[in-house]
Structure 1
């Protein structure tokens, strides 16, 4: 399912001393099945942008067109939009409230008016997708789970709605390395297996370099860059000028190139760097 945003502007508290332009004439297209990363420093407009995508905020001006429907039109039922566009807020585990994991995940599908059998199937499928064993976790209290398990349960509640677009706001925030890796692995599998459109807000350049098809860079309410990870992270100076950075390995690669080592400047993950450096060592060894 595609998203088209046309000249989107949002002003908070207009006409007051606290007026703030959070989005400034933003236009972009997101194609069906893409994995988009949205990055930018605090206050750049990321959260405001994603809240427009499922109708939580109304624009001051501009349009948001989802699956050929302009959701800013007053005649559009936003409840129908939110069935298609799932939004997982930062720290979604704070929104868990039912007495069991199964009931919490079932809450959304119940509001869709589905039958008991359909709800049960959706809960089982969602738990499987996020890596929670149904029999093991179904009767547990959400509050007994680890941080990573709570995060997965919360995401399962959105996945069970079977939205065609999934928006994730800092899905690994506050998790330990193990929980973070588990969540990212499940998100990657969710995208590759079900081909849904994913938009992920993140401050981790390492994460977005591994997962995203495209990266959108926000600054002062504008989308200043829209390109592949390779092309975005080549622009280290520009990223640093807006309070961001490239993945740490990019700085290592840049230093190696400065020292005359012939290595690609399109490497942004540790695994790719390790493979490339091994190739260089092997070729040098064979040349002696």
Structure 2
């Protein structure tokens, strides 16, 4: 499902001494099935932008067209939009409230008015997709789980509604490295299985490099960079100027290049670094 954002501006507390322009004439097109990462410092406009896409905020000016419908129009039923655009907030485990995992995940589909058979089918599928075995976990309390498992339950609750667009706000925040990798792998699986358009908000360049096909960089309410990971991470000076960075392995590759090693500087993930360094070592051994 496509998303077209045209000249979107949002001003908090207009006309007051606390007036703040959170979004400033933002225009972005997101195509059906894209995996887009949204990065930027706190206060850059990321959260404000995603809340507009879900219809939680109304713009000061501009348009948001989702699936050829302008959701900023007066007669639009935002409840219909939210069935298509699922939003998983940061630390979503704090929004869990039912006594069992099954009931918590079933809450959204029930509100869609689905019959019990369809609800059960969706719950089982969503749980399996996020790596929670249905029979093992369905009757457990969500409050007895680890942080990473709670995060999976919260994501499954949105996925069970089968939205066309899934927005995830810092889904790996606060998790250990193993938990981060597991959540990111599950998000990639979700995109394949449901053919979703995914928008991932993140502070982590490493996370973004692993999963995104496109990166949008926000700064002071504007989108200042838009491209593939390779295109965006080449703009080291621009990123550092706005308080961001490229993945750590990219800095390592650049240092090795400066030391005279024949290594690509277009390295953004651990897997790419491993491949390039092994190639270097093999080359050195062959020369011996």
> If the length of structure 1 is used for normalisation, what is the TM-score?
0.98
Q: Which residue of 2 aligns with 1:253?
A: 253
The answer to whether structure 1 residue 109 and structure 2 residue 75 are counterparts is no
Deviation at residue 181 of structure 1 after TM alignment: 1.6
Instruction: Give yes or no for contact 2:37–2:216 (8 Å, CA) kept in 1.
Output: yes
Please state how far the C-alpha of 1:277 moved relative to its aligned partner. Answer: 1.5
Cα offset, 1:25, TM superposition: 0.2
Deviation digits for residues 85-136 of structure 1 (CA, Å, limit 9, x no counterpart): 0000000000000111111111111111111111111111111111111011
Q: Secondary structure at the match of 2:131?
A: coil
Aligned to 1:280: 280
Inter-partner Cα distance in structure 2 for 1:130 and 1:206 = 21
Q: Which residue does 1:7 correspond to in 2?
A: 7
Aligned equivalent of 1:158: 158
How far apart in 2 are the matches of 1:103 and 1:271?
39
**Root mean square deviation of aligned Cα:** 0.9
In structure 1, the residue corresponding to 2:7 is in which secondary structure? strand
Query: Which stretch of structure 1 is more off in the superposition, 155-164 or 191-200?
Result: 191-200
TM-score if structure 2 supplies the norm length? 0.98
278-287 or 22-31: bigger deviation: 278-287
Question: Which secondary structure state, in structure 2, belongs to the residue aligned with residue 36 of structure 1?
Answer: strand
1:76 maps onto 2:76 in alignment: yes
Aligned position for 1:169: 169
- Per-residue CA deviation, residues 156-178 of structure 1 (Å, 9 max, x unaligned), is 00001100000000001111222
Q: Which runs of 5+ in 1 are unaligned?
A: none
Secondary structure of 1:215 counterpart:
strand
The whole-number CA distance in structure 2 between the counterparts of 1:259 and 1:160 is 51
CA distance in 1, matches of 2:140, 2:112: 24
> What is aligned with 1:51?
51
Question: Quick one: distance in 2 between partners of 1:143 and 1:42?
Answer: 29
- Structure 2: stretches of 5+ with no match in the other structure: none
Match in the other structure for 2:186: 186
Give deviations 1:38-59, integer Å, cap 9, x for gaps: 0000000000000000100000
State the distance in 1 between where 2:4 and 2:159 align.
23
Q: Report the equivalent of 2:145.
A: 145
Taking the aligned partners of 1:176 and 1:253, their CA distance within structure 2 comes to 25
Using the alignment, how far apart are the partners of 2:270 and 2:181 within structure 1?
A: 15
